[in-house]
């Protein structure tokens, strides 16, 4: 069958974990647990993902367990919960704060249920459509899927009384899924999950906590929320997912039912709200001391799922006071969450505007094409597209991905806006006149004081910030952060189906040569939003100059982890000589596209 294929683009977390059913670990383990004790401690677990071209990727997380060094299994998720991983590209959502026995934990296992999954994909034309089939690498329909991440060795999860431990699990959509479109337009999503884990995460992703307000302690500049992850209703005093203290400081911005505050004034206003008021806080996970500090706090009618309808998405066109929102996640008053392809937002004198992280007043001119928004109001679902009369628009950080056309001024050739295809955006009206409307092939970015002198023409970059006011471009975008993706770690993922005895052409102390002969659907290198298809190539993996890293040989019931490449290579050579065959490989490091070599300090090779 002829078909077109779309491979998902994604940024990588710093710590690699690997493949279906057996995921990358960080050291050797033993059968005893010297740290085990009778006291309990708290572990806070968050979920996030790397970006992909999904408008929605909602599956049920059935269970989440932690395994101690002595083999004991501890359940940390009290209820199955639906998670839309596509909504968590630029942040981490706290899932559960569980009280567990003290000790050392060496693995986390997550069970996902795809039987009622809501997976919405972008078609080659840029439209949104539900996936027609979701299958595994062997072409079988996906039901329950189990994935395990090992956290042993120097990245072990330690739990002790009085000091919360933190773990973030990253379900990498980019490396875990491939979408194929048949000539009749039907789509098939093939899933081969890659999970990432970080203990005490220090990556710059913003963290989010949501739930009903439990109490406020103004003297300590903190309040406590009852966790309500993902699609669970925000109201009510039950706390099956636990509770988490949230600290504030003088710079914390509060938006309480449409009224803005900063610092202690906002905390005092929050203290005046009824207990169990719906609250969402965004901020940073600090490690010294370990605590969550809020940058922004939203409460009451300023929270999706409160007493108004709310949609989240990107403005794809604007005409007068009508803005079209594409890829909208709809939060109905009362807590229901669903996905809509388009929502027509009507703006008017009653519509107020705020901007993420900014207590100052803003206006409707800032609702421009490309801008990511959260819009509150009243939805009329009887129209097509549905119409939302907006009472308030919150401007959210918008993410551009592209390559540098020039550095002074900074001009980009865009690849995507918030991971979405450029074909869906109509930039008419964005400029001071039609000749100055935004052009995605020459998109002008105001970098402010951000350093751009070292950016080379053709360098891939990620820029976060806000779209310029409607009808006022250029510039087209105001940057708040900029990342040169040229030095970003890459992820290589290859699967051989069936397992191949010729996949490893050669291996020694200097490196490993691979063959793509017999490779299945997964044979790519992901670096930022750049994807290299390895089909027809002979890629090579080399160790770092010092030969150190985490190199794993995984079999169905056994895994061996080496700190030195030469030991890994010697063992692998012996196994290959004894008839072992390769079925999958995931490696993390720095990719050189000129010679097809990955210098990798994390390699997991699955043998059969």
Q: What would the two tokens of residue 68 be? A: 């101690």
What is the pLDDT averaged over residues 194-218? 75
pLDDT tens-digit readout, 322-381: 999 986 566 665 555 565 568 899 999 999 999 988 888 899 999 999 999 999 988 887
The 3-state DSSP class for residue 151 equals coil
How many Cβ atoms sit within 10 Å of the Cβ of residue 451? 9
Place 262 in a pLDDT band, splitting at 50, 70 and 90: very high
The 3-state DSSP class for residue 78 equals coil
More confident residue, 122 or 83: 83
The answer, yes or no, to whether residue 16 has pLDDT greater than 60, is no
Most confident region among 129-133, 414-418, 543-547 by mean pLDDT: 543-547
Q: What would the two tokens of residue 513 be? A: 């040569």
State CA 2 to chain mean position distance: 32
Q: What would the two tokens of residue 321 be? A: 């006071």
C-alpha–C-alpha distance, residues 508 and 555, integer Å = 20
In the DSSP assignment, the letter for residue 9 is: P
Q: What would the two tokens of residue 533 be? A: 């298809």
Give every CB contact of residue 508 below 8 A, 6+ residues apart in sequence. Answer: 569, 573
How many Cβ atoms sit within 10 Å of the Cβ of residue 460? 19
Which of 2-16, 241-255, 322-336 bottoms out in mean pLDDT, i.e. has the lowest?
A: 2-16
Longest dimension (CA), the chain: 76
For the chain, give every residue range classified as CATH 2.40.50.140. 309-393
pLDDT tens-digit readout, 112-125: 999 988 888 877 66
What is the pLDDT averaged over residues 22-50? 51
In the DSSP assignment, the letter for residue 455 is: P
Burial of 82 (0-12, 13-18, 19+ CB in 10 A): middle
More confident residue, 4 or 251: 251
pLDDT of the residue at 25: 29
3-state secondary structure 277-328: CEEEEEEEEEECCEEEEEEEEEEHHHCCCCCCEEEEEEEEEEECCEEEEEEE
pLDDT of the residue at 138: 80
pLDDT of the residue at 602: 85
What is the pLDDT averaged over residues 92-115? 84
First-residue to last-residue Cα distance in the chain:
30
pLDDT of the residue at 386: 85
**Secondary structure tally for the chain: helices H, strands E:** 3, 44
The answer, yes or no, to whether residue 31 has pLDDT greater than 50, is no
C-alpha–C-alpha distance, residues 23 and 148, integer Å = 6
Q: What would the two tokens of residue 6 be? A: 């779309």
The answer, yes or no, to whether residue 38 has pLDDT greater than 90, is no
Q: Are 374 and 391 in contact (CB under 8 A)?
A: no
pLDDT tens-digit readout, 45-73: 777 765 555 777 888 888 889 888 888 89
The answer, yes or no, to whether residue 437 has pLDDT greater than 90, is yes
Most confident region among 89-93, 164-168, 209-213, 387-391 by mean pLDDT: 387-391
Q: Are 417 and 370 in contact (CB under 8 A)?
A: yes
What is the pLDDT averaged over residues 247-273? 92
What is the pLDDT averaged over residues 113-140? 81
pLDDT of the residue at 412: 96
Q: What would the two tokens of residue 420 be? A: 């979405």
The answer, yes or no, to whether residue 509 has pLDDT greater than 90, is yes
- The length of the chain, given as a count of residues: 608
For 207-302, the fitting CATH number among 2.60.40, 2.40.50, 3.40.1350, 1.10.3470 is: 2.40.50
Q: Residue 398: what are its φ and ψ, rounded to 5°?
A: -115, 140
Most confident region among 282-291, 408-417, 464-473, 560-569 by mean pLDDT: 464-473
Q: Residue 96: what are its φ and ψ, rounded to 5°?
A: -155, 145
More confident residue, 33 or 166: 166
In the DSSP assignment, the letter for residue 431 is: B
Please provide the DSSP assignment of 456-515 as one string. PTT-EEEEEEEEPPTT-BSS-EEEEEEEEGGGS-EEEEEEEEEEESSSEEEEETTEEEE-
pLDDT of the residue at 102: 86
The answer, yes or no, to whether residue 404 has pLDDT greater than 60, is yes
More confident residue, 302 or 436: 436
pLDDT of the residue at 475: 97
Q: Are 202 and 231 in contact (CB under 8 A)?
A: no
In CATH terms, the fold of domain 398-487 is OB fold (Dihydrolipoamide Acetyltransferase, E2P) (2.40.50)
Q: Are 438 and 472 in contact (CB under 8 A)?
A: no
What is the pLDDT averaged over residues 600-604? 88
For 309-393, the fitting CATH number among 1.10.10.10, 3.40.50.1860, 2.40.50.140, 3.40.50.11810 is: 2.40.50.140
Enumerate long-range contacts of 575-580, CB under 8 Å, 24 or more apart. Answer: 575/607, 576/501, 576/504, 576/507, 579/501, 580/607, 580/608
More confident residue, 273 or 521: 273
Please provide the DSSP assignment of 111-122 as one string. EEEEEEEEEEEE
Mean pLDDT, the chain, as a whole number? 81
Give the pairing type, strands 259-262 and 91-101: unpaired
C-alpha closest to that of 259 among 389, 392, 395: 392
Please provide the DSSP assignment of 203-256 as one string. SSPEEEEEEEEEEEETTTTEEEEE---TTS-S-SS--TT-EEEEE--TT-EEEE
Enumerate long-range contacts of 417-422, CB under 8 Å, 24 or more apart. Answer: 417/314, 417/370, 418/89, 418/314, 418/372, 419/9, 419/51, 419/52, 419/53, 419/89, 420/53, 420/122, 420/126, 420/314, 420/326, 420/327, 421/53, 421/122, 421/126, 422/126
């Amino acid at each position: 069958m002829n078909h077109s294929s779309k491979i998902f683009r994604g940024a990588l977390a710093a710590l690699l974990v690997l493949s279906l059913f057996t995921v990358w670990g960080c050291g050797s383990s033993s059968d005893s647990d010297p740290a085990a004790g009778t006291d309990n401690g708290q572990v806070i677990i968050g979920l996030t993902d790397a970006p992909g071209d999904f408008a929605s990727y909602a599956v049920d997380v059935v269970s989440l367990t932690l395994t101690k060094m002595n083999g004991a299994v501890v359940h940390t998720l009290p209820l199955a919960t639906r998670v839309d991983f596509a909504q968590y590209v630029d942040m981490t959502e706290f899932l559960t704060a569980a009280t567990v026995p003290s000790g050392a934990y060496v693995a986390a296992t997550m069970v996902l249920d795809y039987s009622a999954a809501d997976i919405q994909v972008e078609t080659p034309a840029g439209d949104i459509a539900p996936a027609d089939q979701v299958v595994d690498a062997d072409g079988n329909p996906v039901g329950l899927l189990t994935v395990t991440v090992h956290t042993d060795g120097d990245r072990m999860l330690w739990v002790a009384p009085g000091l919360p431990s933190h773990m973030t699990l990253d379900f990498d959509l980019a490396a875990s899924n491939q979408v194929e479109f048949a000539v009749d337009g039907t789509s098939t999503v093939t899933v081969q999950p890659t999970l990432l884990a970080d203990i005490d995460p220090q990556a710059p992703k913003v963290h989010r906590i949501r739930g009903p307000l439990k109490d406020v302690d103004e003297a300590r500049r903190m309040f406590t929320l009852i966790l309500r992850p993902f699609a669970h209703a925000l109201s009510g005093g039950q706390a099956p997912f636990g509770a988490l203290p949230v600290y504030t400081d003088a710079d914390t911005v509060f938006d309480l039912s449409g009224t803005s505050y900063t610092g202690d004034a906002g905390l005092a206003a929050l203290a005046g709200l009824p207990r169990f008021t719906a609250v969402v806080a965004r901020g940073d996970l600090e490690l010294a001391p370990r605590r969550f500090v809020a940058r922004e706090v939203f409460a009451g009618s300023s929270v999706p799922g409160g007493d108004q309808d709310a949609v989240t998405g990107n403005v794809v066109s604007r005409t007068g006071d009508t803005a079209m929102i594409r890829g909208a996640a709809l939060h109905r008053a009362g807590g229901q969450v669903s996905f809509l392809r388009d929502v027509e937002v009507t703006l008017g004198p009653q519509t107020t505007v705020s901007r993420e992280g900014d207590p100052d007043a803003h206006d409707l001119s800032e609702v421009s094409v490309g801008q990511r928004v959260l819009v509150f109001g009243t939805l009329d679902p009887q129209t097509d597209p549905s119409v939302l009369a907006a009472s308030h628009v919150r401007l959210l950080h918008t993410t551009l991905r592209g390559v540098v056309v020039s550095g002074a001024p900074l001009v980009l050739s865009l690849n995507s806006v918030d991971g979405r295809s450029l074909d869906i955006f109509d930039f008419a009206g964005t400029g001071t006149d039609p000749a100055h409307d935004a052009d995605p092939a020459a998109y002008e970015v105001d970098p402010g004081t951000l350093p751009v002198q070292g950016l080379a023409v053709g360098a891939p970059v990620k820029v976060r910030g806000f779209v310029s006011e409607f009808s006022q471009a250029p510039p087209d975008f105001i940057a708040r952060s900029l990342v040169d993706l040229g030095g970003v770690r890459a992820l290589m993922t290859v699967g051989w189906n069936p397992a191949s005895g010729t996949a490893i052409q050669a291996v020694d102390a200097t490196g490993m040569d691979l063959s793509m002969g017999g490779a299945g659907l997964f044979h790519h290198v992901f670096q930022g939003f750049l994807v290299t298809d390895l089909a027809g190539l002979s890629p090579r993996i080399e160790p770092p100059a010092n030969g150190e890293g985490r190199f794993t040989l995984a079999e169905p019931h056994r895994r061996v982890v080496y700190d030195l490449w030469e030991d890994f290579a010697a063992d692998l050579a012996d196994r290959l000589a004894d008839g072992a065959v390769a079925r999958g490989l995931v490696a993390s490091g720095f990719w050189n596209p000129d010679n097809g070599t990955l210098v990798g300090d994390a390699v997991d090779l699955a043998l059969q």
